[in-house]
Structure 1
Amino acid sequence: MDVRLLSSTPDPERAVAVAARVCYAPVGAAELMDAMDDEAVRRVLRTIMTSGHFSALEHVSYTFAIDGVSRAMTHQLVRHRLASYNQQSQRYVSYAEEPCFIVPPDVADDPQALSVYEAACDAAFAAYRALVDAGVEAEDARYLLPNAMETKIVVTMNVRELLHFFELRCCKRAQWEIRELALAMLELAEPTAPYIFADAGASCRRGACREGKMTCGEPYERAPKRD
């Protein structure tokens, strides 16, 4: 898996603070952008993050390039609807050679399971190629391709949606591949807005687990309280 931060809103914490402050200020956002010092920005952010008034977070967005993941994982990812996606097309991308298949760790660690898994993937791709060679359009032949196929996707989320995504997908109960993705995205985003992302991640980082009876019983270390 390769995850890269392609772009993000410049000076994200200041942008959030200004967006929130403009609701109560007699001057415009451009003036506030210049007038607010770092301490003023921090005070506004503290109020936002502790009060739950998160609408101002929607003014900051992050765009990630994600390669080397499975279609099984991206089917989970695109369920997060408040985001924008562009994914490698199985209709227009020609698979002249056998593509990469993502292998789950539990399968990779079991030689017998791995043999069955690889044989199934190879057979599916061989059938796909046979249909294409027989003149079947790729958009129809692709129905044979497995969820294990490697794919590439670009995703853009605003900060509010990212925090929600991290809460659900950094959780230890999340499926392993999307959890790995969420942790990688958080690692890239956190340095750009350390105060906003200070306690981002699974709900147990901030308090009680929200999974109820489904809890894993192995919480992450609690994040320090914001100053």
Structure 2
Amino acid sequence: MKILLAGYNLDYELISELKQKSSITEDLTPETISAAYARISRSPKPVNELRGLARAEVEKARQSNRNIVFAMGHSSVAEHAVFNIDVLGVSRLLVEEIEKFRLCSFTEKSQRYVLFNKDFVVPDEIWRAGMTNLFVETITAQNDYYHELYEKLRPFVFEQNKALAENPSNKSMLEGWAKEDARYAISMATQTQLGMTINARNLEMMLRRLAALPLAEAREYSTKLYDATKDIAPSLIRYTTPANYDKLIRKNLAVDAEKMFQKSTQKAKSQKPAAVNLTGATANADIRIAASLLFSSSQKDYATCLRQAKKLAPKAKKDLFKIIFENLQPHDAVLRELENVDLLYELVVSSSCFAQLKRHRMATIITQEYDP
């Protein structure tokens, strides 16, 4: 067995500085990694030699990527090229669109640990509508109240949690609780920042989808993101213009849905949903999980495991489930067998609550537009 380190992240400014100080003339690009790994399936050479060949002939590596990723359709090759992106001066609203891409990594400026200043984004739509003055006045008032609210909430939180407040190490946590509550006053236009790690395949998808959104800030973001990355891996990022599918799918669905409700014979008004409503769940969930555990822990087919799971007495099922939880520590991931059971919730939440909910990107989260 041999394990070789093929690459790791470096700061872009450091890469540029090192290149200037060295005699390197060829492009420094993650495309060579993608090209080398793509050749693994068709070459007898060791992968470290393939990487060396790709580095020596960057243009040949790029042509290989174009053929394999786009002509042959092996898009996963582009996932070996990874970018670290600083995103600054964007609105909270745009961040929600960015973080819909579940296979990327994000670290966002925390509204719990950082007391936000009064910076905010003025949407292009507001400027073109001639409503900038009213918008700025409104957001300024909200931001002023946010800071005023924090100053009042901070002593209240400390007073309500005297035992915790006695320990100086809890100061930051308690102040964070006050900031969390105060943030209900700030708008989605509030300016924030995040760090993003994204592979070339998801980068291309993000560029295309955000360029298709009606939000002007999203389209500007797509353009600037492309400008920042286009010269680094041109062989892996090709289809960046919005397709009709991305531009029209939501619009067409909204039009059709409106027509359906207009034709509906039901005249009763829709009732306001509860804040939390369990609308669906996998039937016989405990049996499904038990069958999955038996399947992965034996050489029996699933039908046999399902029949056995149905025969288990409640105590036997409970004992089986105890096994998968008994040694579980806070940072352990539970077994994938539990993913065979789904719970479907309808939630009515604020934007502040959704800021926490959207972190769980591997969940299937479907949202409506904000209702002012």
What TM-score range do you get, normalising by the shorter chain?
0.7 to 0.9
Matches of 1:18 and 1:176, distance apart in 2: 39
1:224 corresponds to: none
Equivalent pair of 2:125/2:216 in contact (CA under 8 Å): no
Off by >6 Å, runs of 4+ in structure 1? none
Change (3 A) 1:104 1:38: closer
Aligned residues: 202
Match of 1:108 among 127, 132, 152: 127
Does the alignment pair 1:195 with 2:235?
yes
1:183 is aligned with what amino acid? T
RMSD between aligned alpha carbons?
2.5
For the pair 1:158 / 2:228, whether they are aligned, the reply is no
Write out per-residue CA displacement over residues 81-133 of structure 1, whole angstroms, 9 at most, x where no aligned residue. Answer: 111111111111124xx51111112312444x223212221221222122212
Does the aligned pair in 2 maintain the 1:169–1:202 contact within 8 Å? no
Greater RCO (CA < 8 Å, at least 6 residues apart): 1
After TM superposition, the structure 1 = structure 2 runs for residues 73-152 of structure 1, keeping only pairs within 5 Å, are 73-95=94-116, 98-111=117-130, 113-136=131-154, 137-152=178-193
For 2:245 and 2:40, the matched residues in 1 are separated by 33
Alignment map for 1:1-20 (pairs within 5 Å) = 7=12, 10-20=28-38
What do the CA deviations read for 1:123-182 (whole angstroms, capped 9, x no partner)? 2122212221213411111111110111011111001111111121123x4421121111
Tell me if the contact between 2:79 and 2:201 (Cα under 8 Å) persists in the aligned partners: yes
Quote the Cα distance in structure 1 between the aligned partners of 2:183 and 2:247: 40
**Aligned partner of 2:187: which letter?**
P
> Greater helix share, 1 or 2?
2
Write the letter of the residue equivalent to 1:99.
K
Structure 1 unaligned residues grouped into runs of 5+: 1-5, 217-227
Per the alignment, do residues 107 and 60 of structure 1 end up closer, same or farther by CA in structure 2, a change over 3 Å counting? same
Q: Distance in 2 between matches of 1:149 and 1:123?
A: 12
Q: Given the superposition, is the C-alpha separation of residues 203 and 52 from structure 1 closer, same or farther in structure 2, using an over 3 Å criterion?
A: farther
Alpha-carbon distance change, 99 to 203 in structure 1, aligned in 2, over 3 angstroms? closer
1:25 and 1:155 map into 2 onto residues whose CA distance is: 34
Q: Quick one: structure 1 residues 38 and 115, their matched pair in 2 at CA, closer, same or farther if it must change by over 3 Å? A: closer
Instruction: Say whether residues 1:184 and 2:224 are aligned partners.
Output: yes
Partner of 1:44: 64
Q: Closer, same or farther in 2 for the Cα pair 1:175/1:118, shift >3 Å?
A: same
Mapped partners of 1:75, 1:215: distance in 2: 17
Give the structure with higher Rg (CA). 2
Determine if contact 2:121/2:191 at 8 Å carries over to the other structure.
yes
Letter in 2 for 1:20: A
Q: Deviations over 1:166-221 (max 9, x none)?
A: 121123x4421121111111111111122323x331255xxxx33485699xxxxx
Unmatched runs of 5 consecutive residues or more in structure 2: 1-10, 16-27, 155-177, 252-372
Cα distance in 2 for partners of 1:110, 1:75 equals: 24
Provide TM-score, normalisation by structure 1: 0.79
Give, as a single letter, the amino acid of the residue that structure 2 aligns with 1:75: E
What CA distance in whole angstroms lies between the structure 2 residues aligned with 1:123 and 1:180? 27
Provide TM-score, normalisation by structure 2.
0.50
Q: Which amino acid aligns with 2:141?
A: A
* Corresponding position of 2:362: none
Identity %: 24
